[in-house]
Amino acid sequence: QSILLSVRNLRTEFQTQRGSVKVVDGVSFDVGRGKIVGLVGESGSGKSVTALSLMGLVASPQGKVSADSIMLNGTDLTRLNAEELRRNRGRQLSMVFQEPMTSLNPVRTMVQQVGEPLSIHTNLGRRAIRDKVLHMFETVGIPEPAARLDVYPHQLSGGLRQRAMIAMGLICEPKLLIADEPTTALDVTTQAQILRLMMALRDRVGTAIVMITHDLGIIAEMCDEVNVMYAGQIVEQANVFDLFDRPSHPYTRGLLASIPKATEKRSAERMNSIPGVVPNLAKLPTGCRFNPRCGDAMPICRVQQPELTDLGNGHKARCWLHDKQGGKL
């Protein structure tokens, strides 16, 4: 499999009044060309900040991003200057956010906003940009696309706004689309339509997707590979079959146990069926970060942090249950 994005040891810290907090702490993962890779975890696990860090959207100076390397399509983004980085990211990477209303400007028309990446990153004129936006609106299944070009965001339904945001994300034909909870604000039917649309685009255009979600149901439906995040770290990494077949980290098992039945409403609250809460990153427990919530915790778990250990077939877990050094204390 050919690798499009390879992230090694990504770290993102924020300066707060009570010192610095590592929100992303040593995250490494790969995305193959045309693959859909999930980042899953409760809110506060660091998945959105991981995405923002890759996009170069972490605000400095409070936020500081570093990595051993971030190889995107053969280029190490950590070695580029700000201008090179901006151009590189603009053409190869784009992002779709959860709530389009907050990322859309209410006083600019759809064609102005959705076409904006083209005016920044290409030499196309207004006419050509308009044609391209119209074409993208068709591609993402917006009905009567010509009639939606000159309207304002509030004149569209939530589902159409999210489709328009996906059109905007794809308009420069990026190799990679990062989607952060793209359907969480939508009703179940629209959610299913948007997810199908994203999978169809992957099949047709070959865009790889990093899918950020708290919902393992979405992961099961869409993803090839999965990274489970907890308290700023990846705690389990596997292809989607192995993850659901042999979940190896107690946190992943807890997430799986909390998947709602088809008849129940998907919502963030369901995740709370794992007892306890995500730890305060400024006051992490010693040892394994999951130990205060873990039913399998052993003495060593409260003392020493486990490493991400390979269980074979690229399946990795950060847990003393699977580390040969474990259980000795």
Cβ atoms of 142 and 96 closer than 8 Å: no
Determine if 252 is a binding residue for Mg ion (CB under 5 A).
Answer: no
- From the centroid of its chain, how far is CA 197? 17
Nearer to ligand SF4, 130 or 322 (CB): 322
Q: Least separation, in Å, of the C-beta of 317 and ligand SF4? A: 8
Range in contact with ligand SF4 (rule: CB under 6 A) among 111-119, 145-153, 293-301, 308-316 = 293-301
Among 301, 308, 315, 316, binds ligand SF4 (CB under 6 A): 301
CA distance 219 to 66: 28
Binding mask 107-126 for ligand SF4 (x = CB under 6 A): --------------------
Q: CB under 5 to 8 A by kind: which of ligand SF4, Mg ion, none does 230 bind?
A: none
| Shortest Å distance, C-beta 48 to Mg ion | 3
Determine contact, residues 171/95, Cβ cutoff 8 Å. Answer: no
Q: Report the partner that residue 319 touches, choosing among Mg ion, ligand SF4, none (CB closer than 5 to 8 A by kind).
A: ligand SF4
Q: Which long-range contacts (CB under 8 A, 24 or more apart) does 131-139 make?
A: 132/171, 133/167, 133/171, 136/167, 136/168, 136/170, 136/171, 137/163, 137/164, 137/167, 139/167, 139/170, 139/201
To which residue do tokens 């196309």 refer? 124
- Asked if 297 is part of the footprint of ligand SF4 (rule: CB under 6 A), the reply reads yes
Residue 291 interaction partner, one of Mg ion, ligand SF4, none, beta carbon < 5-8 Å per kind: ligand SF4
- Least Å distance, CB 275 to ligand SF4, is 13
Contact pattern from residue 40 through residue 79 relative to Mg ion, giving x for each residue in contact according to CB under 5 A and a dash for the rest: --------x-------------------------------
Candidates 291, 308, 309, 315; binder of ligand SF4 (CB under 6 A) is 291
Show contacts with Mg ion in window 119-178 (CB under 5 A).
Answer: none
3-state secondary structure of 228: strand
* Residue spans of beta strands (DSSP E) within 87-175: 93-96
Select 124 or 321, whichever has its Cβ closest to ligand SF4: 321
CB closer to Mg ion out of 48 and 92 = 48
Picking from 326, 238, 241, 243, the residue whose alpha carbon sits closest to that of residue 287 is 326
Instruction: Give me the least distance between CB of 214 and ligand SF4, in Å please.
Output: 19
Site string for ligand SF4, 248-267 (x = CB under 6 A): -xx-----------------
The strand pair at 3-16 and 19-32 is best described as: antiparallel
> 168-171 — which CB contacts under 8 Å span 24+ positions?
168/94, 168/96, 168/113, 168/114, 168/116, 168/117, 168/136, 169/94, 169/95, 169/96, 170/94, 170/136, 170/139, 170/140, 170/201, 170/205, 170/207, 171/114, 171/115, 171/117, 171/118, 171/132, 171/133, 171/136
Asked whether position 306 contacts ligand SF4 by CB under 6 A, the answer is yes
Nearer to ligand SF4, 191 or 291 (CB): 291
Stretch that binds ligand SF4, among 36-44, 46-54, 278-286, 318-326 (CB under 6 A): 318-326
- Residues near ligand SF4 (CB under 6 A): 249-250, 288, 290-291, 294, 296-298, 301, 306, 319-321
